[in-house]
Amino acid sequence: MRYFLAYREANGRDFNGLPWVATTTEDDYRSDARHLLCGGYRDVIPFAVDGFRWDGDTFTWEDVFQNQIGL
């Protein structure tokens, strides 16, 4: 399982309709999400994808919502 955080910038901007995405780990995604939220980032959503090798491909907001995990 691979863990990621999707988010928008503090001003609400995303990446041309796609979320900004940061990699994280199962152990760290909660604290990483809180760090982004405290930094003013918006719509911070942790998500996990099984069997996916992320090599710079983009995720859509739909991908994020379908694979989101709780804080």
Instruction: Break the chain into its structural domains and give their ranges.
Output: 2-66
Q: Is the pLDDT of residue 15 over 70?
A: yes
Mean pLDDT, residues 8-26 taken together: 93
Label residue 30 exposed, middle or buried (CB < 10 Å: 0-12, 13-18, 19+). middle
Mean pLDDT of 15-20: 92
| Other beta carbons within 10 Å of 37 | 14
CA distance 31 to 24: 10
Indicate the pTM of the whole model.
0.88
The string of pLDDT tens digits covering residues 28-70 is 999 999 999 999 999 999 999 987 666 667 899 999 999 999 8
